Amino acid sequence: MLLNVSHINKSYGEESIIRDATFTVDEGSKVAIVGNNGTGKSTLLKMIVGEIPADDGEVTLKKDATYGYLAQYQEDSFGNNILDTVLSAREDLLLMEKRLSEMEAEMSNVSTEDMTKFMEDYHKLQHQFDLSGGYTFRSEAIGILKGLGFEGDDLQKSMTELSGGQKTRVSLGRLLASAPDLLLLDEPINHLDLSSIMWLEGYLSSYKGAVIIVAHDRYFLDKIADHVVDLSYGKTTVYTGNYSAFVAQKEINQLSYERAYEKQQKEIEHQKEVIEKLQSFNREKSIKRAESRKKTLDKMEIMDVPDKDAPKMRITLEIDKESGKDVLDFENVTKSYDDKVIFSNLSFDVHRGDRIAILGDNGTGKTTILKCINGLTDFESGEIKFGANVTVGYYDQEQQGLTESNTIFSELHDAYPFLTETKVRNTLAAFMFTEDDVFKRIKDLSGGERGRVSLAKLMLSKSNLLILDEPTNHLDMDSKQMLEEALNEYDGTLLYVSHDRYFVNKTANTILELANGTLTKYLGNYDDYIAKKEQLFGSTDNSNVAGTTSENITAAKLDFKEQKKIEAEKRKLANKISKIEEEIEELETKKAKIDEEFIKPENMTNSAKLNELTSKQNEINERLEDLYQEWELLNS
């Protein structure tokens, strides 16, 4: 056992946030903490690391175990530039590296009588440096930063130039490079694009230490978690398995408990009726039997009233009229910003009943496509045509369609003035705005509340084409599920951009992957898309998922010649890796022989020979470092 959380309680005023939180984390285990907004997930992490005190209870970490914590909002700077900041996670190696360099500079000035002791100290430190990963930690740090979306000149950027999101990514990289026994990560993927999220999934899945994760990305949790701690209803319940297993088991447990509770309530009611009847007989034996039954009833362990979920969003998406078969033609569209071409001659079409998700890394132009369709931004050339009887409902992730000075009530009433006050209030109640909440100003709402207002307006539009930009941002787990169910019942056409792969998996029947200014079409949901990528490219690492092929290759038309080309590239890569591994083996052998030369009596007192051996050893170490780095990049 690595971590034990025992009977932790936390309240703010009269509101109990966490009640009797108890669970353990074993070495190497991957634990997800889940619950809707406001259930205390981040608070629990802060209590575990001692950032805030618990009201009572105890947190125990295994003796000598190390931990690292990434908060949601973290802008700490530990170095001058990005690479230095991440490398500073291994201060021990940097100090050893510096000392080795100093000793190498001092070597030629060491007297003959002191040389033996000096070289013993040097080799001892060098051996410790090697065992601690000193010759690979720089390439490992670069690999981590590449996985998180930094490479090339980015690594030398000053920390003062970075945005808050970029600093959080660097902080995550620094934390991963420190490799503690326990990682505690609060929303680690908030500032990552799809490629980086997938890289992090692979990294954490194979991470030797334990991980505790708070995240709203259900697909991410599915890939990583082997245990789930649920904070619903102010208490903790531990489930074994990933997120999907938790959802299924929680539903079974809830139904089972509710049935057992109902059965017990019926039994209690029955016993009370029997006792009352026996007492009414007014006979000595009947009264004694009634008293006996009452004692038994008093001793019964009464089950708590079943926990009921908090109020959930209720959304029903209907269409006013059906569109024609051809819904949208996006033909040869070119868009630029400040002389930078976002995409050129981009084309795709949408037909009635399509449920299309546009995927791609940040900055590729996904949201720009939606804005072009909705007339919110101009484009240089091409044509965008709607089909017959198409009515559009647009959900903007930035919520720019909301009037800041409006109340929630007036926002809906202004958009749909023909609705009665009762209809507006009923609609808002369906989105969890009741009583005086409806008079809150738009400018005072949280991201989640603004999202629910936008969805309410979308529902009332009864449009037959919904265009959604990151619709699950700011929604809690339950609200995401409600939206998924509503979209699956929707009779219209759907086109959206989303980073939420679980949402995409539940709602899409077509994937358009946007990369390098081109679109690649895949039929099916997210799992089908990943399976096809694996079939075509042999893996789903960053390069393939990001769609870095320069041509717009559709899955259905990948011909034999193209497959042969891909296979040839794979063989070429495998040969290059094999040659690097052979050279590494040769150099390691040479390095071992030099180590043997150092300890020969005739060499230990020969400073010229020692300098020669040290020079050769340094050359080998430098070449090995380059080879290790090249091998890692080829295998990433």
- The 10s digit of each residue's pLDDT in 128-147 is 888 888 888 888 888 888 88
Mean pLDDT comparison of 27-41, 562-576, 616-630, highest-scoring range: 27-41
Q: Quick one: pLDDT band at residue 564, thresholds 50, 70, 90?
A: low
Q: Which residues contact 377 (CB under 8 A, 6 or more apart)?
A: 335, 368, 371
Strand partners, 69: 184
DSSP structural state of residue 358: E
**479 CB burial (10 A radius; 0-12, 13-18, 19+):** buried
Per-residue confidence (pLDDT) for residue 549, from 0 to 100: 39
Which of these, 66, 65, 69, 78, lies nearest to 44 by C-alpha position? 69
Decide if pLDDT at 44 tops 80.
Answer: yes
* Token pair recorded at residue 482: 């409600």
Decide if pLDDT at 508 tops 90.
Answer: yes
Q: Which residues contact 382 (CB under 8 A, 6 or more apart)?
A: 330, 331, 332, 333, 334, 345, 346, 347
Per-residue confidence (pLDDT) for residue 488, from 0 to 100: 92
Residue 636 near residue 146, CB atoms below 8 Å: yes
Per-residue confidence (pLDDT) for residue 511, from 0 to 100: 92
Per-residue confidence (pLDDT) for residue 633, from 0 to 100: 67
Give the residue ranges of DSSP H helices in 490-606.
501-507, 526-537, 542-545, 560-598, 601-604
User: Among 17-21, 188-192, 440-444, 629-633, which is the least confidently predicted range?
Assistant: 629-633
Q: What is the mean pLDDT of residues 515-527?
A: 88
d(CA 229, CA 605): 63
For residue range 294-341, what is the model confidence (pLDDT) as tens digits?
898 888 888 877 766 556 778 888 888 999 999 999 999 998 888 788
- The model carries a pTM of 0.67
- Quick one: how far is CA 4 from the chain centroid? 25
Strand partners, 56: 9
Which of these, 549, 563, 501, 487, lies nearest to 529 by C-alpha position? 501
355-359 and 493-497 beta bridge pairing: parallel
For residue range 235-290, what is the model confidence (pLDDT) as tens digits?
788 999 998 898 888 888 888 888 888 898 998 998 888 888 778 766 777 788 78
Helix/strand/coil percent split, the chain, to 5 = 50, 20, 30
Per-residue confidence (pLDDT) for residue 540, from 0 to 100: 55
Residue 68 near residue 182, CB atoms below 8 Å: yes
CB atoms within 10 A of CB 328: 23
Decide if pLDDT at 504 tops 90.
Answer: yes
For residue range 422-439, what is the model confidence (pLDDT) as tens digits?
888 888 888 878 888 888
Residue with more model confidence, 233 or 309 = 233
d(CA 383, CA 361): 25
* Token pair recorded at residue 314: 């209720």
Q: Quick one: pLDDT band at residue 556, thresholds 50, 70, 90?
A: very low
Q: What is the mean pLDDT of residues 503-526?
A: 90
Per-residue confidence (pLDDT) for residue 358, from 0 to 100: 94
Per-residue confidence (pLDDT) for residue 307, from 0 to 100: 65
* Token pair recorded at residue 441: 């100003």
Per-residue confidence (pLDDT) for residue 552, from 0 to 100: 38
For residue range 53-63, what is the model confidence (pLDDT) as tens digits?
888 999 998 99
Residue 460 near residue 419, CB atoms below 8 Å: yes
Decide if pLDDT at 100 tops 80.
Answer: yes
d(CA 563, CA 557): 11
Per-residue confidence (pLDDT) for residue 429, from 0 to 100: 87
Per-residue confidence (pLDDT) for residue 493, from 0 to 100: 93
Q: What is the mean pLDDT of residues 591-615?
A: 82
Q: Which residues contact 493 (CB under 8 A, 6 or more apart)?
A: 323, 327, 350, 351, 352, 353, 354, 355, 464, 465, 466
Provide Rg for the chain, Cα atoms: 31
- Find the helix or strand (DSSP H, E) in which 24 lies: strand 15-25
Residue 24 near residue 76, CB atoms below 8 Å: no
For residue range 368-388, what is the model confidence (pLDDT) as tens digits?
999 999 888 889 899 999 999
Which of these, 433, 387, 385, 389, lies nearest to 407 by C-alpha position? 433
Residue with more model confidence, 558 or 407 = 407
Residue with more model confidence, 69 or 166 = 69
d(CA 46, CA 64): 20
Please report where in the chains the tokens 């690097």 appear, as a residue: 580
Residue 516 near residue 365, CB atoms below 8 Å: no
Q: What is the mean pLDDT of residues 105-125?
A: 86
Per-residue confidence (pLDDT) for residue 310, from 0 to 100: 58
Per-residue confidence (pLDDT) for residue 588, from 0 to 100: 81
**Across all residues in the chain, what is the average pLDDT?**
83
Per-residue confidence (pLDDT) for residue 280, from 0 to 100: 77
> What percentage of the chain exceeds 70 in pLDDT?
91
Q: Quick one: pLDDT band at residue 3, thresholds 50, 70, 90?
A: very high
Residue 147 near residue 174, CB atoms below 8 Å: no
Q: What is the mean pLDDT of residues 66-86?
A: 76
Q: What is the mean pLDDT of residues 532-547?
A: 62
Residue 333 near residue 347, CB atoms below 8 Å: yes
d(CA 368, CA 371): 5
For residue range 469-498, what is the model confidence (pLDDT) as tens digits?
988 877 878 788 888 999 999 999 999 999
